[in-house]
Amino acid sequence: MRNNVARDYYAILGVDRSANDQELKRAYRRLARELHPDVNPAEEERFKEVTTAYEVLSDPQKRQIVDAGGDPLDPRGGAGFDGFGGFGGLSDVFEAFFGQGFGAGGGGRSRGPRGRVQAGSDALVRVTLDLEECATGSRKELTVDTAILCDLCVGSGSASGGKPTRCATCGGSGEVQSVQRSFLGQMVTARPCPTCSGAGEVVQDPCGKCSGAGRVRARRSITVDIPAGAGEGVRVRLAGQGEVGPGGGAAGDLYVEVRERPHPVFFRNGDDLHCTVRVPVVDAALGATIPMTTILGEEALVEVAAGTQPGAVVELRGQGMPQVRGGVRGTLHVHLDVVVPARLDHKQAEKLREFRDLRDEEPEVVSAASNHTGGLFSRLKEAFRGR
């Protein structure tokens, strides 16, 4: 038997069916902060469900389908019930999608005015940091260009501070209708009112600075603290620092996204760092202690064991990048590049010949039977075999 029960998007978002756009956005933001995978990985599926519910209810056409008992995301075309999904007929289907009524004298169902005051949008600004700044954390002064509250009318949009009045063109409905005839009968189409832009009200004496919008664009400076361990793509949220909404509505959030500048010595992989140290062949054979400076400017010692082979890696735990949450530092992987001298003077060459005679070793063509050392050729074969 087919399941005919449509999803309750209002219950998923935790709002009443009468919730306006601002209430929907406020509920979504609260749940998104709580359920985001970066904060709560176990709630990833619920986060996706909440996001879907918000996208559906914030779309006027999809919300009409929900209010009519259907599901706009249903693979059967939005039906929550048999036939036309619980609608009264063909005219209700078109009306749910387009706000239109069909038939003799059929009038379009009004969605109502959207209101002059609306919540503002979020804003995004990027900042480029050196790897050292990412490791230690950094405080940055940034210049942002966003809509801010008009200081002349304080968001009212009126030069005298008066309240807006009902729009004479649409009578406060926020939309105007036009009638057309088609093969299905009379069709009434609703569109946003050109006078009030769908708000349902107008300001009679617009502010000379913001022209009645209640907000103006301005460049301003802000201070942001980038936490230690932040890296490429990490975003820092500054609540209420985004775009002020139309009519002086509440400001959205500002997100500062980190861009990480490549480092000349260290390569980052998550919380771990990698670097290469060139080791003379004699030091690789006899062993050595090599001092180096870490990303935090601390002195560390790299212990090269006697007999170190090319490609060996020394791990310095706790010398990598700090985690954003918890502060635990990763590992610094020091890759050892054993350097064979390209030129030797007479005395050096003679000493090496003496060393060769003492070792009494001969070059060998490596075969599968004789390769017990896991040399380069063996590693290459394994790589090509996909091992």
Q: How confident is the model at residue 356 (pLDDT cuts 50, 70, 90)?
A: confident
| Weakest-pLDDT range from 228-232, 352-356, 359-363 | 359-363
Task: Report angle CA 200, 203, 207 to the nearest 5 degrees.
Answer: 145
Provide the pLDDT for residue 369. 64
H or E element, residue 285 = helix 281-286
**Contact criterion met (CB below 8 Å) for 254 and 222:** yes
Is 70 or 286 the better-scoring residue by pLDDT? Answer: 286
Quote helix, strand, coil % in the chain, to nearest 5: 25, 30, 45
Structure confidence at residue 221 (pLDDT)? 94
- The domain defined by 266-355 folds into HSP40/DNAj peptide-binding domain (2.60.260)
Q: Say what angle helices 90-98 and 60-67 make with each other, to 10 degrees.
A: 140
Given a cut of 80, is residue 241 above it in pLDDT? yes
Burial profile 232-264: b = 16 or more Cβ within 10 angstroms, e = fewer: eebebebeebbbbbbbbbebbbbbbebebeebe
Model pLDDT, residue 76 = 52
Name every residue whose Cβ is closer than 8 Å to that of residue 254 and which is 6 or more positions away in sequence: 122, 123, 124, 125, 144, 146, 222, 237, 238, 241, 242
The answer to whether the beta carbons of residues 307 and 291 sit under 8 Å apart is no
Asked if residue 275 belongs to a known ligand binding site, the reply is: no
The CATH label, of 2.30.110.10, 2.60.260.20, 2.102.10.10, 3.10.129.10, for the domain at 118-145+214-261 is 2.60.260.20
pLDDT tens digit string along 104-135?
Answer: 344 444 566 777 888 889 999 999 999 999 99
With CA atoms as reference, report the closest residue to 173 among 201, 151, 194.
Answer: 201
CATH class of 1-73: mainly alpha
- Has 167 been labeled as part of a binding site? yes
Share of the chain above pLDDT 70, in %: 82
Domain boundaries, the chain: 1-73, 118-145+214-261, 266-355
Pick from 191, 195, 188: nearest CA to 171: 195
Same CATH topology for 1-73 and 118-145+214-261: the answer is: no
DSSP letter, residue 206: B
Q: For residue 90, how many C-alpha atoms fall within 13 Å in the half-sphere facing its CB? A: 5
Q: How confident is the model at residue 327 (pLDDT cuts 50, 70, 90)?
A: confident
Most confident of 42-46, 142-146, 377-381: 142-146
User: Is there a contact between 177 and 190 (Cβ–Cβ < 8 Å)?
Assistant: yes
Predicted TM-score (pTM) above 0.75: no
Tokens representing 303? 């212990």
List of residues 6+ apart from 325 with CB closer than 8 A = none
- Count Cβ atoms below 10 Å from residue 9 Cβ, excluding itself: 24
List the single range of 2-6, 135-139, 368-372 with lowest mean pLDDT. Answer: 2-6
Q: Tell whether residue 134 is among the known ligand binding residues.
A: no
3-state secondary structure at position 88 = coil
Rounded mean pLDDT, 54-65: 87
